[in-house]
């Protein structure tokens, strides 16, 4: 019998709490909801290392940031030879491997074929951006080709909805908003417009004169709903090609998104819950239990070990993550309730998260002029609006000690220093860490959608093309 196939949906910037799959008040993911009901959903899934490059590095290798040595969006160089990606593992096992929309990132090492699609900026639909439809245009022919081959396949799809710019095509633009986005009395976007690093980029894709942050939030939700509708076409194609019974489908994300919260302004930086929380669902009729939901805390590093376990492939690799198959089958799994968190996007910070506390320490001054230390009580203050570091010095001391003990343990286990301490040009500006918040504020600037796209792609493309196979 032909080995089972794998289709992995990686939906960029998709925060868990804005999906109806997880109880969101708006019906944003009806097709994913229905599809995932045929499988197993994990309700407390996290990407501890953000943003895209470290998030996918962990997801694709089964390692934490000490294992991958990757913590920054603008990671310099490729993945180290000490790790293997799931694409490399499956390729060696006789799989055809295709990556759609992610060929320029070092985390995508090892695919045999790379396909790109227009995933940024306004399209031809009245300035709206049909990103998911563009993905479908190149994916459906490739899926059809793979289905007709004797070899099993691994197809990875990197959806660029709901990543900014939030420009869902009609009718999704007005699906969740019925007000006047240009009401001059509304001042909710004043903070964003006064924030030099982001204001030009964000206003470049908003309606002229837009004043309402809720309009922008609704565009994010509309982008999710639009993406969900486009993914329904892929679900239908999987069924039409007769792939359902022999294909594991995984739905997840690399990180979440912060909207009009925490001064992060419609982006995925800041170690707050909206950026760390992700969806995770496995669907494979007869192999993955249907209609199951689990509240166990899981992490991106668990994804690859779980997939390989379900596919029946043994590698001999000692992963930092653990398979979730025992959980799916009702067996107990030792919990990992607290964990190390990192970011090198627009700020370089790390911290420690427990079920009650979120401790964040800046490793250099940040461009939001935030304090060096932040502490949030996730039980009493789940939205993380009240920094209690000054009121709870003993808790800060305790969590800092636990974090540093973990760092020392992982440095000893890997024989390498914490990459958070060695990636000093994470911002790509040269000159080492920022000395002041003002320096960071003046340096970290996105001027346009083109500039933002280059940050995602161009800086790493030339450096890594020689490490990959063919690309179309």
pLDDT for 297 beyond 60: yes
pLDDT for 468 beyond 60: no
Percent of the chain whose pLDDT exceeds 90: 88
pLDDT at residue 118 in the model? 86
CA distance 129 to 242: 31
pLDDT for 464 beyond 80: no
Contact (CB, 8 A) for 375 and 389: yes
Mean pLDDT of the chain: 93
* Three-state DSSP state, 168: coil
CB 34: neighbour CB atoms within 10 A? 12
The mean pLDDT of 349-375, rounded to a whole number, is: 97
pLDDT at residue 245 in the model? 96
Question: Is the peptide bond preceding residue 48 cis, with omega within 30 degrees of 0?
Answer: no
The mean pLDDT of 125-150, rounded to a whole number, is: 92
pLDDT for 201 beyond 70: yes
In the numeric block, the tokens 């309700």 are attached to: 43
Structure tokens, 211: 């004043």
- Dump strand ranges (E) for 64-144: 96-100, 113-115
Domains and CATH numbers, the chain: 5-191+213-333+449-471 (3.40.720.10), 339-443 (3.30.1120.10)
pLDDT at residue 225 in the model? 98
Closest CA to 307 of 330, 290, 284: 284
The predicted-structure confidence for 395-451, as pLDDT tens digits, reads as follows: 999 999 999 999 999 999 999 999 999 999 999 999 899 999 999 999 999 876 655
Lowest mean pLDDT among 14-28, 262-276, 457-471: 457-471
pLDDT for 461 beyond 70: no
* Three-state DSSP state, 120: coil
> Which pLDDT band, with edges at 50, 70 and 90, does 77 fall under?
confident
CA distance 18 to 28: 7
The alpha helices in 118-195, defined as continuous H runs, are: 131-147, 190-193
pLDDT for 56 beyond 60: yes
Angle between helices 449-456 and 196-203 (to 10 degrees): 110
> Which pLDDT band, with edges at 50, 70 and 90, does 128 fall under?
confident
Q: Which residues contact 23 (CB under 8 A, 6 or more apart)?
A: none
Closest CA to 410 of 149, 4, 64: 64
pLDDT for 463 beyond 90: no
Side-chain-side CA neighbours of residue 411 (13 Å) = 12
């Amino acid at each position: 019998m032909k080995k089972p196939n794998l289709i992995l949906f990686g939906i960029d910037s998709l925060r868990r709490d804005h999906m109806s799959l997880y109880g969101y008040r708006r019906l944003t993911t009806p097709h994913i909801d229905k599809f995932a009901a045929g499988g197993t959903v994990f309700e407390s899934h996290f990407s501890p290392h953000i943003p895209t490059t470290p998030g996918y590095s962990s997801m694709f290798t089964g390692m934490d940031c000490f294992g991958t040595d990757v913590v920054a969006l603008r990671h310099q160089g490729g993945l180290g030879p000490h790790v293997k990606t799931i694409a490399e593992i499956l390729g060696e096992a006789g799989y055809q491997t295709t990556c759609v929309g992610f060929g320029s990132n070092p985390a995508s090492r090892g695919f045999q074929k790379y396909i790109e699609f227009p995933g940024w900026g306004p399209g031809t639909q009245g300035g709206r951006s049909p990103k998911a439809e563009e993905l479908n245009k190149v994916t459906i022919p490739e899926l059809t080709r793979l289905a007709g081959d004797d070899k099993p396949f691994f197809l990875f799809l990197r959806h660029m909805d709901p990543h900014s710019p939030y420009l869902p095509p009609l009718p999704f633009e007005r699906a969740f908003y019925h007000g006047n986005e240009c009401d001059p009395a509304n001042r909710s976007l004043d903070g964003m417009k006064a924030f030099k690093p982001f204001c030009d980029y964000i206003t470049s894709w908003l309606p002229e004169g837009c004043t309402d942050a809720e309009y922008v939030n609704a565009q994010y939700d509309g982008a999710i709903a639009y993406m969900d509708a486009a993914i329904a076409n892929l679900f239908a194609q999987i069924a039409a090609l007769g792939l359902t019974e022999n294909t594991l489908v995984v739905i997840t994300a690399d990180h979440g998104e912060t909207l009009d919260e925490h001064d992060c302004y419609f982006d995925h930086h800041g170690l707050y819950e909206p950026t760390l929380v992700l969806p995770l669902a496995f669907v494979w009729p007869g192999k993955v239990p249907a209609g199951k939901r689990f509240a166990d805390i899981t992490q991106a590093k668990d994804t690859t070990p779980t997939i390989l376990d379900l596919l029946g492939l043994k590698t001999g690799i000692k992963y930092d993550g653990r398979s979730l198959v025992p959980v799916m089958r009702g067996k107990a799994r030792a919990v990992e309730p607290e964990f190390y968190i990192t970011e090198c996007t627009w700020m370089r910070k790390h911290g420690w998260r427990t079920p009650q506390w979120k401790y964040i320490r800046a490793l250099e001054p940040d461009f939001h002029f935030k304090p060096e230390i932040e502490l949030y009580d996730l039980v009493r203050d789940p939205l993380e609006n009240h920094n209690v570091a000054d009121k709870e010095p003993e808790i800060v001391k305790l969590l800092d000690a636990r974090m540093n003990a973990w760092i020392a343990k992982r440095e000893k286990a890997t024989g390498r220093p914490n990459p958070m301490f060695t990636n000093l040009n994470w911002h790509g500006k040269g000159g080492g860490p920022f000395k002041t918040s003002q320096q960071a504020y003046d340096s970290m600037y996105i001027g346009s959608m083109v500039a933002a796209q280059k940050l995602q792609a161009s800086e790493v493309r030339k450096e890594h093309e020689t490490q990959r196979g063919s690309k179309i």
